[in-house]
Amino acid sequence: MTSRTLILVELRGGNDGLNTVIPYADPLYRELRGSIALPRERTLQLDERVGLHDKLEPLMDSWKAGDFAILQGVGYPYQNRSHFRSIEIWDTASASGQTLSEGWIAQAFQGTALSKGAGVDGIVVDTNSVPLTGPSLRTIVMQDAENFLRQAQAMKTTPAMADGGNPALRHLLNVRHEVNAAAAGLRDKLRDTPPPAFAYGKETGLPSQLDLTTRLVVARVPVVAIKVALGGFDTHANQTPTHERLLAVLATNLVILRKNLMAAGRWNDVLVMTYSEFGRRVRPNASGGTDHGSAAPQFVFGGGVKGGLYGAYPPLADLRDGDLKHTVDFRGVFASVARGCWGLQRDFGQRQPQRLDFLA
Amino acid sequence: MTVRLHRRGFVTGTAALSAALWAPRPGRAAAAMDFDEARHLLSRTAFGATPAEIRAIEALDYPAAVDQLLATFRPTAATAAPGWANDGLGALRDQQKAMAKVTADGRAVQVQPPLQEQGRELRNWWIEEMLATDQPLVERMVLFWHNHFTSSLTKTYYPGSLYRQNEMFRASAFGNFATLLKSVARDPAMLLYLDGVRNVARQPNENFARELLELFTLGEGHYTESDIKAAARAFTGWSVDRETGRFVERAGQHDDGEKTFLGQTGRFGGDEIIAILLKHPRTAETIVEKMWREFVSLTPDPAAVKRLAAPFRDGGYELKPLLRALLLQPALRDPANRGALIKSPVDLIVGTVRVLGLPVPEKTQLARMMQGLGQSLFNPPNVKGWAGGESWITAYTLLQRQQILRRIVEATTVASMEGMGGRRMDRRQAQPAMEDTQQMMEPRPVEGRSLRNSSGAARLGPTLLGVDAATLSKTLLPFAPIDAVETGGAPGAVVAAALLDPAYQLK
């Protein structure tokens, strides 16, 4: 059975896909985007139609090496424009009008027998753990390995004790049990792992999260997924400087992750995937920003990835209420990941999920 | 489980007799609560409760205790406002500029940037008020509104506006929701937070309109995208004066055209939109559901919510009768409901400091603990506020909570808890070095008294001094401890064991 660790990178707030992967050859791009259009000379050409924002330049090594796939026009029908609802739709692989409580990764592992060796199946290094939440996975949220282990040691083990039908107490005792089990599994593995060979950036958030991710992967902690996040993409006003800064943070740190995992011989064993609750509206607003939109590209990296462009860029001449029409359903992407990463055939509620062939 | 005091059984018998023969004694009501029920009511309506506070109401019957909680209301904070609280936006800009000049000259003067410093003072002011207030239920409501009508320092860059918003919430704590909603739509912090200031006729900004419908009133699924667009147009021109920082209506930027909103058509302005929302049954239900989760349990009873929401709306959205009805819900009084809510970081920190009677001259450390546990006051994570409930407890935050409590056990003043939270928490501070300079330099009282090993009662603060071991445990925990810890009955050890028990995380 194929077994890779998925490294899920949430771009929180709704990343502007149109200024990430730019349909530079379409004259409508400049016309519709106006003041926030990226100049042609700053677009890194990927083919005769689309290119990357030049702040993503560090990723070009990966593109040239052929382990960087770009999934274009990913979204879902009946786009919901609420941050909270739309990220929930993504995280639980639900339809727009459907509410599910379990995360999509937990759903994928329903009915499977995971090895109980490490005491933990999924690790969330940011704060949103929904994709990994469900009874099939033992997921812990951990932001600093050292502190985690030191503190876990000081915590009591849960005695076999009824929770008296109190759901709050049950939750508390479950979390305590997970911490104890995870600490027992992680302690030995992390103890002898050296720091990453290449240091991550100084910004708060993503760089330190990727540092911990690197240690976990290098220590061969056998988890199905690790989740990190970069926030700040909700660019309603004066978008350009903020968005460019975020793209630069993303690219520079992802490329360090790639170098670290290659140096450790682990690059073939991971799949790195970005996602965001939605893209942004095609036309900018009066504040030099963009409002909540629809479809956007996703990035996928890894030693087993077949690089290139997948799916079709949504045509700018055919918008719905000023928004892009998605060409790839995100549940098809998840189905491709479930098969390519974990060897699981999952359709996430779709009769015939449109799988993308980005994994060997 | 411990053997509980079944005082109620005894009282009921007496009361039956009393009703027939003579009026109840003034000291003890006919259907007096017992210690555990009095504690339960205070755990939901205050920030922790001391043995004395519990005993002060246990002789009342439950409805009388609820009425007493709602009887007194002071619309302003007892704690003195920070000096800059009423500064305009122009004054704040001038201060920022003056500061920039100092550093440009290269002088080695250590000055706090006004924004960070004011944010720190603002948090400390509110924590001080929560600790000192004689009307904790009012502060609970202020916190409730802060989590409903969210605004943050990181988006507004204007601490004065957050201070005034907080005062507005306090003034409306037991007031009227309809009035509050109208004030919120004109509130400068809200106009800055949800881009109302950018909402102009030429290009409407939908941010406030969307959250007004999705989060503040109707809830998802009860409106369409076109309702949001119509509402956004109706609020165009509601803005903030660049100098005074106060609400201003700019007629020239208002879209006076016809709008269709929730099936009604007219040349609506903001107040007409709000009036339509207030007529919608979902608005009252949204508020009642949220208050249920805050005060009663994690799972609102849909039938009970409807029963509470209808009179709330029909009665013109008065909050006091709603609070009273909510606190009298059998679901809240049910003994099985004790300990069914998870303490928020504010509950945990403020409650612990209050109940232990810890001297905390400087509140910055407390604000940091809350931040480390996921609740930085005046900086909710997003417009939806803190999700609360089970999401307060993750592997990460549970470990942090235990660590904080362990340190409180080891050192009986919070001021001596240097290095609290480790590197991780410091790194997440906006200006850790700056924030630290002032407090860290001062000599701190390091008392090194440990509750854990103390044998006598002398080490406990005045709130717990002289209280017997059984009462200490019943004060600190909603039910019997989960972990069996051998305390030997020494009060200090009993308190330490209770604070570190999982049940202490519940209220």
pLDDT above 70 (res A1): no
Q: Which of A143, A169, A286 sits opposite B396 (nearest CB)?
A: A143
- pLDDT for the residue numbered A116: 59
pLDDT above 50 (res B347): yes
Q: What residue type is assigned to position A284 of the chain?
A: P
**Residues in chain B closer than 8 A to A159 (CB atoms):** 482-484
CA distance B296 to B332: 5
Domain identity same for B471 and B422: yes
Query: Which one has a higher pLDDT value, B485 or B398?
Result: B398
**Which of A287, A292, A294, A320 is most worth mutating to test chain B (most B CB atoms within 10 A of its CB)?**
A287
Query: Last residue of a domain, which of B16, B47, B71?
Result: B71
Report CB contact under 8 Å: B483, A159.
yes
In a domain, B103, yes or no: no
Is residue B479 within 8 Å of residue B339, measured between CB atoms? Answer: yes
Residues 6+ apart with CB under 8 A from A29: A18, A22, A23, A37, A316
Query: Last residue of a domain, which of B15, B37, B71?
Result: B71
Average pLDDT over residues B97-115: 61
- pLDDT for the residue numbered A339: 94
Q: Quickly list H helices, B88-206.
A: 89-104, 114-132, 136-148, 153-156, 159-171, 177-185, 188-193
**Residues in chain B closer than 8 A to A140 (CB atoms):** 394-396
**Would you place residue A269 in the very low, low, confident or very high pLDDT band (cuts 50, 70, 90)?**
very high
Query: Which one has a higher pLDDT value, B445 or B178?
Result: B178
Is the minimum CB–CB distance between B304 and chain A shorter than 8 Å?
no
Domain identity same for B374 and B469: yes
In a domain, B220, yes or no: no
In a domain, B285, yes or no: yes
In a domain, B228, yes or no: no
* Model-level ipTM above the cut of 0.95: no
Q: Which of B207, B398, B406 sits opposite A176 (nearest CB)?
A: B398
Residue pointed to by tokens 């001062």: B442
Residue pointed to by tokens 């609750």: A277
Query: Which one has a higher pLDDT value, B230 or B1?
Result: B230
Domain identity same for B358 and B434: yes
CA distance A54 to A75: 24
| Residue B411 belongs to domain spanning | 345-505
The per-residue pLDDT for range A220-246, each reduced to its tens digit, is 988 999 999 999 999 999 999 999 999
Percent of residues in chain A assigned helix, strand, coil, to nearest 5: 40, 15, 45
Mean pLDDT rounded to a whole number for chain B: 84
In a domain, B187, yes or no: no
Domain identity same for B323 and B351: no
CA distance A175 to chain B (A): 6
Q: Which of A143, A176, A291 sits opposite B206 (nearest CB)?
A: A291
Domain identity same for B314 and B433: no
C-alpha dihedral, B323 to B327 to B331 to B337, nearest 10° = 120
459-488 of B, contacting A, C-beta below 8 A: 479, 482-484
Domain identity same for B321 and B429: no
Domain identity same for B327 and B383: no
Cα B195 from chain centroid?
Answer: 25
**Which of B344, B396, B505 is most worth mutating to test chain A (most A CB atoms within 10 A of its CB)?**
B396
Count of CB atoms within 10 A of residue A305's CB?
Answer: 23
Report CB contact under 8 Å: B393, A171.
yes
Report CB contact under 8 Å: A166, B206.
no
Query: Last residue of a domain, which of B337, B353, B368?
Result: B337
The residue in chain B having the minimum alpha-carbon distance to the alpha carbon of residue A173 is B502
In a domain, B200, yes or no: no
- pLDDT for the residue numbered B474: 96
Of A263-277, A306-320, B211-225, B437-451, where does mean pLDDT reach its minimum?
A: B437-451
C-alpha dihedral, B381 to B40 to B497 to A176, nearest 10° = -50
Domain identity same for B327 and B438: no
Length of chain B: 507
| Full set of structural domains in chain A with CATH | 5-342 (3.40.720)
Of A53-62, A146-155, A340-349, where does mean pLDDT reach its minimum?
A: A146-155
pLDDT above 60 (res B258): yes
Report CB contact under 8 Å: A172, B398.
yes
- pLDDT for the residue numbered B112: 53
Three-state secondary-structure class, residue A225:
strand
Domain identity same for B332 and B481: no
Domain identity same for B456 and B315: no
Domain identity same for B478 and B354: yes
Instruction: Tell me chain A's radius of gyration from C-alpha atoms.
Output: 20
3-state secondary structure B208-237: HHHHHHHHHCCCCCCCCHHHHHHHHHHCCC
Report CB contact under 8 Å: B506, A155.
no
The per-residue pLDDT for range A154-185, each reduced to its tens digit, is 776 655 556 778 999 999 998 888 888 778 77
Report CB contact under 8 Å: A85, B424.
no
Count of CB atoms within 10 A of residue A244's CB?
Answer: 17
Q: Which of A129, A156, A179 sits opposite B399 (nearest CB)?
A: A179
Three-state secondary-structure class, residue A283:
coil
pLDDT above 80 (res A310): yes
Residue pointed to by tokens 């770009």: A70
Residues 6+ apart with CB under 8 A from A116: none
Is residue A210 within 8 Å of residue A257, measured between CB atoms? Answer: yes
Query: Which one has a higher pLDDT value, B454 or B330?
Result: B330
In a domain, B293, yes or no: yes
State the total domains in chain B.
3
Domain identity same for B437 and B459: yes
pLDDT above 90 (res B102): no
In a domain, B389, yes or no: yes
- CA distance readout (Å), B149 to A124, B191, B384: 29, 11, 9
Q: What residue type is assigned to position B10 of the chain?
A: F
The per-residue pLDDT for range B454-469, each reduced to its tens digit, is 444 346 888 998 899 9
The per-residue pLDDT for range B153-189, each reduced to its tens digit, is 988 999 999 999 999 999 999 999 999 999 999 999 9
Q: What single string gives the DSSP state of each residue in B432-443?
A: HHHHHHHHHHS-
**Residues in chain B closer than 8 A to A237 (CB atoms):** 195, 198
pLDDT above 90 (res B223): yes
Average pLDDT over residues B105-111: 51
pLDDT above 60 (res A132): yes
The per-residue pLDDT for range A81-108, each reduced to its tens digit, is 888 889 989 999 999 988 787 899 999 9
- pLDDT for the residue numbered B454: 43
Count of CB atoms within 10 A of residue B449's CB?
Answer: 16
Average pLDDT over residues B237-244: 96
Query: Which one has a higher pLDDT value, B232 or A152?
Result: B232
Instruction: Tell me chain B's radius of gyration from C-alpha atoms.
Output: 25
User: Torsions phi, psi of B434, nearest 5?
Assistant: -60, -45
Q: Which of B205, B423, B483 sits opposite A285 (nearest CB)?
A: B205
Is residue A106 within 8 Å of residue A340, measured between CB atoms? Answer: no
Residues 6+ apart with CB under 8 A from B14: none
The residue in chain A having the minimum alpha-carbon distance to the alpha carbon of residue B209 is A82
Burial-class residue B17 by CB neighbours within 10 Å (0-12, 13-18, 19+): exposed
